[in-house]
């Protein structure tokens, strides 16, 4: 096997130094997976024209690279989209929990408005492999496609073409305003980040075959905001036919999204007023850094979603699910056991306030009594933001005929770190990108192999089950999920807390 990998690596350098896609030739970088498998990486491929100047807050334009004998350099990571240090601070928070200095966290890369790029990892350009498209998280205000945990080399080595994409963030990707809606042929605004993702999927459909991927077998997968965006992609008619399966990791809240276009536009009007900017033309003229600073001062919610605009989202997601207004593609939804533990403020006062905000405080208190305050808050907030909405999405898609699978990630790494199976903890197990500073033992490696197998088989077939791993049942009224932790096994989930949090 090693000898064959060396030969493949040598061949890759010759065969892939300039690989032709539909619109251009690209020069990439040969890399070797941990097991010696030859992989070729193409970094910073433009999939849409730069959304700058008059194109700020407009739908993305297809890329118009002319085919040339001179390959385009695809050996360097692109600029990240405009953002602050939110994701860097997340890495630093995890590092601190494990007793590591802030310096082990990745630094924020160079940022720019011209950021609509994607990266490709492929083991064989002559093949026709399943395609896995990663959509990063970061609350739709932070994150980039090549964060250390998102590198696709090891996943590609197992038999897939892996793509990671970027999209406009924060005020650049989700600002609504009546003037912007009036400019749009579809009468909408505030959805540019999702439109970028759709444009990336169009580029992939047109070009991924040249990189060894099967355009007829594309899986989108993502975590946190990326997972939430996948729910919108599953429900928007604009993405029909662009992908065939979907994996949503800790991103169920679109089930509750009802914010209207008018509400989004009103927020934009308020933003211009607070910034004392007379109109959209003047806002477009601002330097990107100045605009980012103004948005940080004004917008406090810390998260961006597209509005229900009658076009990208014809109706609220819950209504679309109830009407079964979606393609019944195979879907996987999941959440982590301790999503909110690293974020909660563990005081009795905070618990009492959170409890009072629930529809049935007595029932919630009865279910969680006896737990320490941090665990009570974690259980409550994780259920409200992740577990229960993810189950609602699973119910809706399963009712509409989509083969549906649900997991809970509950692996807690060794050491006394106090954050449990935290938000984002599952990602290194899927990409096999465990940071050197994280305690990673034989059990973590074992779980990595199991999870990579499930994800890859789901991408290939729409069913995560494969030889050598415990059977994973489809989601049904038997409420069977797959527990992914020290053991991997199906179990029945307890939804009493979700019932107590329901307003029905």
* Residues forming a β-bridge with 192: none
What is the per-residue pLDDT for 21? 54
What is the Cα–Cα distance from 92 to 95, expressed in whole angstroms? Answer: 5
- The count of C-alpha atoms lying within 13 angstroms of the C-alpha of 341, restricted to the half-sphere facing its C-beta, is 21
Whether residue 339 lies in the annotated active site: yes
The three-class DSSP label of residue 195 is helix
Residues in the chain predicted with pLDDT less than 50, given as ranges, are 1-17
CA neighbor of 409 nearest in space, from 333, 468, 346: 333
Instruction: Compute how many other C-beta atoms are within 10 angstroms of the C-beta atom of residue 129.
Output: 22
Q: What is the pLDDT of residues 119-128, one digit of tens each?
A: 999 999 999 9
Domains of the chain, residue spans = 2-501
Whether residue 224 lies in the annotated active site: yes
Q: What is the pLDDT of residues 414-434, one digit of tens each?
A: 987 899 999 999 999 999 999
Ramachandran bin of 415, using left for φ above 0, alpha for ψ from -120 to 50, beta for the remaining angles? left
Cα angle: 180, vertex 315, 462; to 5 degrees = 110
What is the Cα–Cα distance from 182 to 227, expressed in whole angstroms? Answer: 30
Residue in the block written with tokens 């980039």: 144
Task: Show the tokens assigned to 193.
Answer: 């980040």
Instruction: Compute how many other C-beta atoms are within 10 angstroms of the C-beta atom of residue 301.
Output: 9
H/E stretch holding 106: none
**Choosing from 147, 154, 223, 339, which is the catalytic residue?**
339
Whether residue 423 lies in the annotated active site: yes
Q: Are strands 213-223 and 331-336 parallel, antiparallel or unpaired?
A: unpaired
What is the Cα–Cα distance from 365 to 348, expressed in whole angstroms? Answer: 13
**Choosing from 177, 244, 423, 434, which is the catalytic residue?**
423
Q: Are strands 245-249 and 213-223 parallel, antiparallel or unpaired?
A: parallel
What is the per-residue pLDDT for 4? 30
- Chain-centre distance for alpha carbon 426: 12
**Choosing from 181, 188, 224, 382, which is the catalytic residue?**
224
What is the per-residue pLDDT for 14? 38
Any idea what DSSP says for residue 81? P
What is the Cα–Cα distance from 311 to 194, expressed in whole angstroms? Answer: 12
- Chain length of the chain: 504
Residue in the block written with tokens 């100047």: 53
Tell me the C-alpha to C-alpha distance, in Å, between residue 251 and each of 163, 176, 180, 229, 496.
Answer: 20, 23, 28, 8, 20
Instruction: Compute how many other C-beta atoms are within 10 angstroms of the C-beta atom of residue 372.
Output: 9
What is the Cα–Cα distance from 387 to 89, expressed in whole angstroms? Answer: 24
* Residues forming a β-bridge with 38: 32
H/E stretch holding 484: strand 480-484
H/E stretch holding 154: helix 153-157
Task: Show the tokens assigned to 18.
Answer: 């300039």
CATH domain 2-501 topology: Rossmann fold (3.40.50)
């Amino acid at each position: 096997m090693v000898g064959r990998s060396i030969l493949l690596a040598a061949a890759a350098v010759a065969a892939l130094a300039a690989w032709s896609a539909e619109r251009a030739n690209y020069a990439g970088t040969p890399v070797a997976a941990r097991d010696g498998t030859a992989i070729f990486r193409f970094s910073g491929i433009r999939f849409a024209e730069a959304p700058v100047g008059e194109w700020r807050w407009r739908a993305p334009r297809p890329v118009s690279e002319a085919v040339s004998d001179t390959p385009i350099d695809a050996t360097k990571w692109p600029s990240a989209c405009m953002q602050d240090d939110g994701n860097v601070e997340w890495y630093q928070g995890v590092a601190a929990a494990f007793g590591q200095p802030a310096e082990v966290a990745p630094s924020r890369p160079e940022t720019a408005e011209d950021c609509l790029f994607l990266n490709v990892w492929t083991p064989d350009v002559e093949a026709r492999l399943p395609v896995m498209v990663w959509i990063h998280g970061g609350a739709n205000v932070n994150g980039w496609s090549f964060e250390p945990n998102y590198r696709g080399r090891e996943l590609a080595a197992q038999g897939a073409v892996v793509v990671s994409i970027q999209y406009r963030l924060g005020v650049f990707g989700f600002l609504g305003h009546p003037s912007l809606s009036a400019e749009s042929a579809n009468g909408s605004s505030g959805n540019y980040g999702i439109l970028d993702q759709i444009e990336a999927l169009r580029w992939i459909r047109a070009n991924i075959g040249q990189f060894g991927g099967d355009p007829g077998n594309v899986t989108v997968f993502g975590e946190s905001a990326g997972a939430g965006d996948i729910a919108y992609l599953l429900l928007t008619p604009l993405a029909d036919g662009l992908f065939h399966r979907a994996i949503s990791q800790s991103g169920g809240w679109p089930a509750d999204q009802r914010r209207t276009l008018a509400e989004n536009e009103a927020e934009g009007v308020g933003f211009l007023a607070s910034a004392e900017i007379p109109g959209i033309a003047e806002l477009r003229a601002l330097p990107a850094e100045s605009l980012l600073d103004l948005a940080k001062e004004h917008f406090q919610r810390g998260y961006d979603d597209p509005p229900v605009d009658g076009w990208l989202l014809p109706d609220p997601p819950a209504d679309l699910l109830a009407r079964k207004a979606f393609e019944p593609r195979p879907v996987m939804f999941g959440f982590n056991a301790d999503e909110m533990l690293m974020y909660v403020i563990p005081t009795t006062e905070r618990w009492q306030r959170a409890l009072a905000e629930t529809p049935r405080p007595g029932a919630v208190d009865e279910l969680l009594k006896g737990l320490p305050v941090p665990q009570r808050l974690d259980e409550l907030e994780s259920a409200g933001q992740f577990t229960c909405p993810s189950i609602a999405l699973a119910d809706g898609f399963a009712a509409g005929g989509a083969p549906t699978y649900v997991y809970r990630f509950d692996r807690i790494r060794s050491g006394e770190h106090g954050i449990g199976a935290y938000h984002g903890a599952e990602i290194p197990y899927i990409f096999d990108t465990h940071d050197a500073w994280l305690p990673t033992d034989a059990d973590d490696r074992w779980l990595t192999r199991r999870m990579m197998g499930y994800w890859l088989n789901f991408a290939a077939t729409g069913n995560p089950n494969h030889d050598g791993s415990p059977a994973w049942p489809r989601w049904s009224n038997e409420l069977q999920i797959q527990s992914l932790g020290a053991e991997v096994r199906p179990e029945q989930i307890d939804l009493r807390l979700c019932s107590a949090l329901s307003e029905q």
